[in-house]
Amino acid sequence: MIRKLNYVGIPTRDQDRALAFWTEIMGFVIATDRPVGERRWIELTIPGAQTGILLFTPEGHEERIGHLLQRIVRLRQRAIRI
């Protein structure tokens, strides 16, 4: 049984844009922002919470970005309520 999550990964194509959204609009705070090759390892925390998010897409996994949104659109087109 899962009892705690430290970080939940959110794959992103544009880390700067995602960082601006999660910090400026959603109110998350930067815990870690360091280079990892050509990308950055960005950990964001939620003020007052134990769980945060990780804005990082491992090399070779870029094709996975956007698949969830595409699935939701297809389900809605078939009149499946989400």
The pLDDT, as a whole number, for residue 57 is 82
In tens, the pLDDT along 14-48 reads 899 899 999 999 899 999 999 998 889 999 999 89
Task: Check if the beta carbon of residue 22 is closer than 8 Å to that of residue 55.
Answer: yes
Q: What is the pLDDT of residue 50?
A: 87
pTM (two decimals):
0.71
Which token pair is 41?
């390892």
Q: Give the separation between CA 22 and CA 31, rounded to whole angstroms.
A: 12
- 4-11: average pLDDT: 85
CA-wise closest residue to 57 among 19, 16, 10:
10
What's the pLDDT score for residue 4? 82
- Provide the pLDDT confidence category of residue 80 given band limits of 50, 70 and 90: low
If you ran DSSP here, which 8-state letter would residue 22 be given? I
